[in-house]
Structure 1
Amino acid sequence: MGTPNMKKYWYQPLIHYSINCNSILSLFDVCERGWSSKCKLTIISAIIYILNAIWSCKNSFRFKGEQPNMKSTITQIIANVSIAGNLTKLATGSTIRDFTVLKAFKVNTHYPNAPKITEVIWSPPILHWIKCNTDGAALGTTDQAACAGIFRNRNGESLGCFAANLGIENDFYAELMGVIFVVECAIKKRWTHLWIESDSKLANLAVKSSNIVPWQIKNRWLNCLHLMTGLTCMITHMYSEGNHCADKLASIGLTVDGFTWWSSPPVNIRADLVNNRLGLPYYKFSNFTLRAWFGPPSFLYLTFDFNIFWMRP
């Protein structure tokens, strides 16, 4: 495999990198050069099909005495790599070297979608209404869970907040318990006009249909819905980027025992409270891909399939 006659079939001039053909594992080092996802898959496929072609040609020569036709062998390699590359929906990079490699193997380019940027601003309630942002947190499906909520008036001032450790539960359970605690606290405080805001769409859906509620809290959830009929109440969805206060409170809930109520907000959420009162926006990014190339051999390639966010200063 390391002979000069074989090295020229590794497409070394195409990728502009020296290729170590001393071992099979060293061949795959060329894949770790900061390629895009689709180009990396194409190169891996090319290496595998080239190895397969070499093995097949050597067997044909050894057992059948047939001399390999290099032109037809390379054509077959390109055809196989093209099929493998075109079956994937991975994103193509924007560099000319990625484009050159993909076109050499007749692989179609598939560029990522343009990032969608959504501005998220916390909205205060209207006069005589109380707004509560709630959230649930779980460290895992078999680990600790907690829920939290913070009540604010039309000026964005905190009227009180809570956090509760729920023990070993899942995230959906925590989100529902957050809504239950919000309603129970509102009844106790005699707040009759309540706006509940959660970043869980399932929690909002559970208000309309209780069939998705876990059986462990089904009765308590139905009682919560009954209590809501005595309130002027609405529940809406908010992106998690605008729900930082409740999210941080839920993280605190993982460290407390049982239910905890604060008349004044904890120190670590006060900065977010001020940002909400000032109407500072947060941004939600979808379909966002970040690439950074620091030159060989060091590189960094990050793909965010999830949503990332930051706050404008």
Structure 2
Amino acid sequence: MKSPSLCVKLNTDGNCYGNPGPVGLGGLFRNDQGGWIMGYAFKVLEADSIEAKMCSIRFGLQTPWDARILDMWVKSDYEVAVKLILQGDPHFHPLGLLIMDCRSLMARPWKCRLTHILREGNSCADFLANLGHNNSGSALLAHPPMGLGPLLLKDLEGLPVIRL
């Protein structure tokens, strides 16, 4: 599925070392040509894997609104989180408040889509989530961090990155 022109794409990921364990969140915003706009990488105290993924999506939904981006396509490699946000019943789920918060952010007056992406196509966000475990400073990144360049190039070329 090709992104519409002028649409900002967000790839997002969250991971935890242990389940539950310390969490790293990461994501990158790119223009319709795949060029870097900004990213984020930071850590939060402790959560399980699904909460980590959903927290990263939630942070990613808030950030573009603050930057006045009005057309965004959010991609996550965790299908369970995507389905919970789009179709889950928040009243009977332990993460119900987080689900409702994500839905509320998506319902703002803008064009916002949330879809699942294969893990092999989300290597840049995975890199940033792993970087988040070591990042104690500011969450927002104006420039791609050292080491992300080769993954960005592969992504621009449409090449998958196989993670073990």
Q: TM-score, normalised by structure 1?
A: 0.48
Query: Contact 2:84 / 2:99 at 8 angstroms: preserved in 1?
Result: no
Query: What is residue 114 of structure 1 aligned with on the other side?
Result: none
Matches within 5 A, 1:256-267: 256-257=135-136, 260-267=139-146
Q: Which amino acid aligns with 1:188?
A: D
Which of the numbers 59, 65, 68 marks the counterpart of 1:181? Answer: 59
Residue 133 in structure 1 maps to residue 11 in structure 2: yes
1:202 counterpart SS class: helix
Distance of aligned partners of 1:222 and 1:255 in 2 relative to their CA distance in 1, 3 Å threshold: same
Mapped contact 1:144–1:167 kept (Cα < 8 A): yes
RMSD of Structure 2 on Structure 1 (CA): 2.0
Distance 2:14 2:135 in 1: 14
Q: Does 1:243 align with 2:140?
A: no
- Partner residue of 2:31 out of 148, 153, 169: 153
Aligned to 1:214: 94
Deviation at 1:188, TM superposition (A): 0.4
Q: Gapped runs of 5+ residues in structure 2?
A: none
2:105 maps to what in 1? 227
For residues 217-246 of structure 1, what are the alpha-carbon distances to aligned partners after superposition, in whole Å with 9 as ceiling and x for unaligned? x33441331121122111111111111100
Paired residues in the alignment total 160
The answer to which structure has the higher strand fraction is 2
Query: How far is 1:198 from its partner?
Result: 0.5
Amino acid at match of 1:137: N
C-alpha displacement of 1:190 = 1.1
Cα separation, 2, equivalents of 1:224 and 1:202: 14
Q: Which has the larger radius of gyration?
A: 1
* TM-score, normalised via structure 2 length: 0.88
C-alpha change, 1:243 and 1:232, in structure 2 (3 Å) is same
Deviation readout 1:276-297 (Å, 9 max, x if unpaired):
1223x227xxxxxxxxxxxxxx
Distance 1:133 1:213, change over 3 A: farther
User: Structure 1 stretches of 5 or more lacking a match?
Assistant: 1-122, 284-308
Tell me, yes or no, if structure 1 residue 201 matches structure 2 residue 94: no
1-structure distance, mates of 2:4, 2:151: 20
Counterpart in the other structure of 1:192? 70
State the 4+ residue runs in structure 1 displaced beyond 6 angstroms. none
In structure 1, distance between residues paired with 2:27 and 2:58 = 10
Task: For residue 126 of structure 1, report the CA deviation from its aligned partner.
Answer: 2.2
Identity of aligned residues (%): 25
Asked if the contact 1:165/1:259 (under 8 Å) is kept, the reply is no
CA distance in 2, matches of 1:196, 1:141: 25
Structure that is richer in helix per residue: 1
Name the aligned partner's letter for residue 222 of structure 1. Answer: M
Asked if 1:277 corresponds to 2:156, the answer is yes
Distance verdict in 2 for CA 1:185–1:213, change over 3 Å: farther
Matched, 1:144 2:22: yes
